[in-house]
Structure 1
């Protein structure tokens, strides 16, 4: 079975007034891109997915240089914070969209993994926010990608719901050697990653274990909790 592919990114470009100058190679299967709003996180995901193509920038996935590869051939799946489901399609049709005819087993596996069988014939408008996000992730994984890009997909979820969904996604990706790059500015979510890339004003300023890269944030969080307890 193939190993989880590394992702190598070199991006030097302007998008609006922001200069993105990011150069990194992932070293673990689940990597978080952590930074404040406006720091270039989503733009980097769009670049990796092939939706933004600046000059003099490169993307390598495993041993393959995919810089000029068309989006539909990259074997990369991108899931946004707001699920882009087809409103006229059922859950079953949404998950099957874009998959090959021989992927019925993969589609069935997604229904079981994310407990979606009871919602198979429902339309997106009838689903809760968490259910729509589960469908969006299931559709992405049903396409059997090599790399899964998650753009703040767990934001706003109840902690228990978030932890359950993250574990489901992680277990599937580990079993199928799918690399994950997840964008977040949420500290608890980032601490669950294998490694963290800190991005500031379009620049990768640190890379390493979550507790090493986010030590200042962890200290501030602990101090905040301590202060709150003292007031109670």
Structure 2
């Protein structure tokens, strides 16, 4: 991803989402309190919500009116939305479609150590395992941008950090942009080069993650001393 342009001005819930920004870093966090419009912005980028006046451009190409399946943008939500009647392997293979011969399935299995679980049904998996499958399925679709909506929330810190680093390295090697929603400053620092701080539907700060979240990170470090 070279450049992702997002522009919108639309009411959502009790706020008005007003965003006009261009992202050019490999990985960007949307950071802020619940209800600030972060997840709604992901839905706009994914094409799941297209309010009037919205504009989404990826590397100069206008995606605004394209349906989600034609955008090559993969969204992983906290609920994972896996197919419960399918096995792990079937869930991942569903995403590869006609590109199944390009190694997406095997790469995804290997990246997240899912080979021993590939025949398991989704209902038998732990929460952390389901998240690994959901991200693997998204990456197996060969997206240009990966959207993550609080996917790592609730995971054990060691498990979360390992998964974040795997995702970051894989996407960096393949030129896949990352836009992730989080309210955890340490998660944002591990995964994201850049952070957009949001509040009440607006961007309140944009820049390098350590600079934008300096107060939050300092407070976190002081509580651990």
Q: Does TM, scored on the shorter chain, surpass 0.5?
A: yes
Distance in structure 1 (CA, Å) of the matches to 2:138 and 2:156: 22
Match for 2:106 among 99, 108, 116?
108
Gaps of 5+ in 2: none
How far the C-alpha of 1:16 sits from its partner, in A, is 2.1
Matched, 1:225 2:216: no
How far the C-alpha of 1:224 sits from its partner, in A, is 2.9
Gaps of 5+ in 1: 227-232
Distance in structure 1 (CA, Å) of the matches to 2:142 and 2:160: 22
Residue 208 of structure 1 corresponds to: 207
Distance in structure 2 (CA, Å) of the matches to 1:13 and 1:48: 14
Matched, 1:155 2:153: yes
Residue 229 of structure 1 corresponds to: none
Matched, 1:88 2:82: no
How far the C-alpha of 1:6 sits from its partner, in A, is 1.6
Any residues of structure 2 matched to 1:1-232 within 5 Å, and which?
A: 4-104=1-101, 105-192=103-190, 193-226=192-225
Q: TM-score, normalised by structure 2?
A: 0.96
| Larger Rg over CA atoms | 1
- Deviation string, structure 1 residues 43-87 (Cα, Å, up to 9, x no partner): 110111000110011001112110011111000000001110000
Distance in structure 2 (CA, Å) of the matches to 1:160 and 1:217: 21
How far the C-alpha of 1:15 sits from its partner, in A, is 1.1
**CA 1:68/1:159 → structure 2, altered by over 3 Å: closer, same or farther?**
same
- Deviation string, structure 1 residues 168-207 (Cα, Å, up to 9, x no partner): 1111101110000010000111122201000011101110
Distance in structure 1 (CA, Å) of the matches to 2:90 and 2:60: 33
Q: Would you identify which runs of 4 or more consecutive aligned residues in structure 1 move more than 4 Å?
A: none
Distance in structure 2 (CA, Å) of the matches to 1:117 and 1:223: 41
Structure 1 vs Structure 2 CA RMSD:
1.1
Distance in structure 2 (CA, Å) of the matches to 1:32 and 1:203: 14
Q: TM-score, normalised by structure 1?
A: 0.93
- SS of the equivalent of 1:140 reads helix
